[in-house]
Amino acid sequence: MARTVKRAFKYRFYPTPEQAAELARTFGCVRLVYNLALQARTEAWTLRQERVNYTATSAMLTAWKKTEGLAFLNEVSSVPLQQALRHLQVAFSNFFAKRAKYPTFKSKKKSRRSAEYTTSAFRYRDGKLTLAKMAEPLDIVWSRALPEGASPSTVTVSQDAAGRWFVSLLCDDVVPETVATGQVGIDAGLDSLLTLSTGEKITNLRHERRDRTALARAQRQHARKQKGSNNRAKARVKVARVHARITDRRRDHLHKLTTRLVRENQRIVIEDLTVRNMVKNHTLARAISDAAWRQFRTMLEYKADWHGRTLVTVDRWFPSSKLCSTCGALAERMPLHVRSWTCRCGTVHDRDVNAARNILAEGLSVIACGGGVRPQRESSRTGQSPVKQEPPGVTQGIPAL
């Protein structure tokens, strides 16, 4: 069997000076329209308790184009401007659903420079992509081929802080559903990036630490330049290039790792880590951020969905490190510096391998019996199994009336 999924194929391209100028104008207009619409919606609610939707902001955009001060909006393609309004509508929908905070204004210096084109604003023929308001196709480096017969439905053009240009093409892709025989529990860490229940430990390459000296040197040079000068702008790009090199290496490593795990295993079990709270530990914040556990989980989730794998997330409070995977005894304390320990049953445990095995066992029990179900285990204090809790509404074996 096979399934059709939406996949984005990202490529680097090199625009001509005319194309770069056109795209820069488009980025600026997209940011301006987004901010104007956000301001209008905020004022309507603050002053009149009135909700403004996408249709109303679209009508506002038409009116803005007819004013003298905003007539330059007609010089760029109208599609990216409309898409900016749709993105704002999505941001408000997420806010009202309590999935995100209130939308904020886009900054000229800090916000991502991008523009989204739909099918009416670009032409893709014979492997060449031409955007609206442009006479020549983009000079794209086709590092990998698009799916055979694929036709992009959306094209997103962006420029990162290092000055590199990228184009992302959203296409329908057919992914064959294969069945793997393996199952694995994964324990995330810092000494080893991942420890698998099979006993394998995947080295933490510490991408940021490898370039820490070059990054510090570039940041010092940037700090010495006069604010607002051209030299400071050049130094900022050098800092951004170091960051981009670190990010690219980290993303490449995580892509290869997650692809391998999904191809080899039918069931994958991970921990539900709250990275946002963990980075509040200032001693480990830099190392945790460099490990990119959240990015690893995101990649694993969508790739498992593509290939029909079962991905289970174990509760963050599950004592995977303190629980003996052999006899089920629970240790009272397990400080972080303890990397191996001996259970009273005589089993010598590697802390991370033991945790990965417990995570796998917990995930399999969730699959078999439902969420929140855990096998009974001995108490390390009494040496006896805990008393079985009766289900709600049952007292001493007699149903409650």
Q: What is the pLDDT of residues 139-172, one digit of tens each?
A: 999 999 998 888 999 999 999 999 999 999 999 9
Residue 332's pLDDT is 80
Q: In 3-state terms, what secondary structure has residue 331?
A: coil
Q: What does the DSSP 8-state code read for residue 346?
A: S
Round to whole Å and give the CA distance between 369 and 375: 10
At residue 376 the predicted structure's pLDDT band, cuts being 50, 70 and 90, is very low
Judge whether residue 200 has pLDDT over 50: yes
Residue 121's pLDDT is 96
- Would you name the residues annotated as active-site residues? 187, 271, 352
Backbone phi and psi for residue 13, each to the nearest 5 degrees, phi listed first: -140, 165
Q: Where are the domains of the chain?
A: 2-176, 182-202+261-369
The average confidence (pLDDT) of the chain is 88
Judge whether residue 334 has pLDDT over 90: no
Residue 132's pLDDT is 95
Residue 371's pLDDT is 56
Residue 328's pLDDT is 83
Judge whether residue 331 has pLDDT over 90: no
Judge whether residue 305 has pLDDT over 70: yes
Return the minimum-mean-pLDDT range out of 142-151, 274-283, 298-307, 377-386.
Answer: 377-386
Residue 176's pLDDT is 81
> What number of other Cβ atoms are within 10 A of residue 372's Cβ?
8
> What number of other Cβ atoms are within 10 A of residue 387's Cβ?
7
- Determine the average pLDDT of the residues in 346-364: 89
pTM as predicted: 0.83
H helical segments located in 172-267: 207-210, 212-224, 230-264
Q: What is the pLDDT of residues 82-140, one digit of tens each?
A: 999 999 999 999 999 999 999 999 999 889 999 999 999 999 998 899 999 999 999 99
Q: What is the pLDDT of residues 212-268, one digit of tens each?
A: 999 999 999 999 999 999 999 999 999 999 999 999 999 999 999 999 999 999 999
Residue 1's pLDDT is 67
pLDDT: which is higher, 357 or 332: 357
